[in-house]
Amino acid sequence: MKKLKLLHRHLIALENKDSLDLADTLWDLICYSPKMSPRLQQQQLLDEATKFTIEVDDPHFAKSALTFNGFIWGDGSRKVLITHGWGSKAIDFDEVITALKTIEDIQIIAFDAPGNGSSDGELSNLLLFAKAAQAIITKYGAPDVLIGHSLGAMANVIAINETGIKPALQISIAPLVKLKENFIATMDMVAIPKPAQDKFFETFEELFEMQASGFNLIDLYKNGATNKHWLAFDREDKIAPYPFLEEFLALHPDIIIKEYTGLGHERIIKDAGVVADIVKLVSAI
């Protein structure tokens, strides 16, 4: 977190930004995910888990294989896979994991995406999140339930598409919908001029061989990919703007939605009411 704060201060203080080559700095701004150590209670929960590691290829940043770390609680027949959001880690779902452990015949799998938490990687991106989820599905089998928060919800959609699984339940919490617009908002926060932003998106397209606008839940999501999709949101969420979500939901009326108030983007996975609703949904599978 300290590195990201220093980067923000540096960019805000820069003068004559129009005349500077900001490309490398903007990659750090957009794709560096701050890593926070687990709290004591979170570490105790991690200590209870069975640990595993898997490698995925990162052809864009590391240009090599990256090892990511995963955690398993329980050995039941009902399998739940949890995908955390940007700047987060598996154990940030500690309240959800603790509550889910009370369900009989359950197995909970969570992981730190490459470049996040305890896993390898300096920079991260949506594709690495999705590749990690896909690798777990390949190794441990199709989950009955996929839970994703923020970028993790978008990654779960890609993982479902790529693996062809059809989970009984998909839970999306405060999902990001239009990633390019999130990038723009991040650059606007530190007053990056539009020509520099345009240059960043040019380099993005060259590196990923696709436009940033392609990371768009409206285009990625496929009707009928899951048996039941439940989505939680806060209309006042500043990270996942409601107008984007509203546009997405209008196209998919079969998604069951529940609105929460006063939670914002990060605290929504910690809220007792949200956790209780997740437990109820998973218990019914």
Specify the pTM. 0.95
CA distance from start to end of the chain: 38
Question: Over pLDDT 70: what percentage of the chain?
Answer: 99
Query: Residue 44's pLDDT band (boundaries 50, 70, 90)?
Result: very high
Read off the pLDDT of residues 169-212 as tens digits, 9 standing for 90 and up.
Answer: 999 999 999 999 999 999 999 999 999 999 999 999 999 999 99
Residue 151 one-letter amino acid: L
Read off the pLDDT of residues 123-145 as tens digits, 9 standing for 90 and up.
Answer: 999 999 999 999 999 999 999 99
Query: Residue 6's pLDDT band (boundaries 50, 70, 90)?
Result: confident
Residue 45: the pLDDT is 98
Residue 169: the pLDDT is 98
Q: DSSP string covering 62-92, please?
A: T-EEEEEEEEEE---SEEEEEE--TT--GGG
Shortest CA distance to 135 belongs to which of 164, 107, 172, 163? 163
Torsion on CA atoms 179, 33, 132, 56, rounded to nearest 10 = 110
Query: Residue 1's pLDDT band (boundaries 50, 70, 90)?
Result: low
What 3-state class would DSSP assign to 125?
coil
Query: How many C-alpha atoms does 22 have within 13 Å on its Cβ side?
Result: 28
4-8, 100-104, 196-200: least confidently modelled range: 4-8
What 3-state class would DSSP assign to 281?
helix
130 vs 22, more confident: 130
Task: Give the span between the Cα atoms of 144 and 142, in whole angstroms.
Answer: 7
Q: Region 19-29: what's the mean pLDDT?
A: 85
Torsion on CA atoms 241, 246, 252, 255, rounded to nearest 10 = 70
Residue 9: the pLDDT is 85
pLDDT at 118 > cutoff 90: yes
**Average pLDDT of the chain to the nearest whole number:** 95
pLDDT at 284 > cutoff 70: yes
For residue 91, give Cα distances in angstroms to 67, 109, 235. 18, 11, 25
Q: Region 217-246: what's the mean pLDDT?
A: 96
Residue 5: the pLDDT is 79
Read off the pLDDT of residues 53-96 as tens digits, 9 standing for 90 and up.
Answer: 999 999 999 999 999 999 999 999 999 999 999 999 999 999 99
Shortest CA distance to 56 belongs to which of 46, 47, 65? 65
Q: Region 29-55: what's the mean pLDDT?
A: 95
Question: Over pLDDT 90: what percentage of the chain?
Answer: 90
Query: Residue 34's pLDDT band (boundaries 50, 70, 90)?
Result: confident
pLDDT at 15 > cutoff 80: no
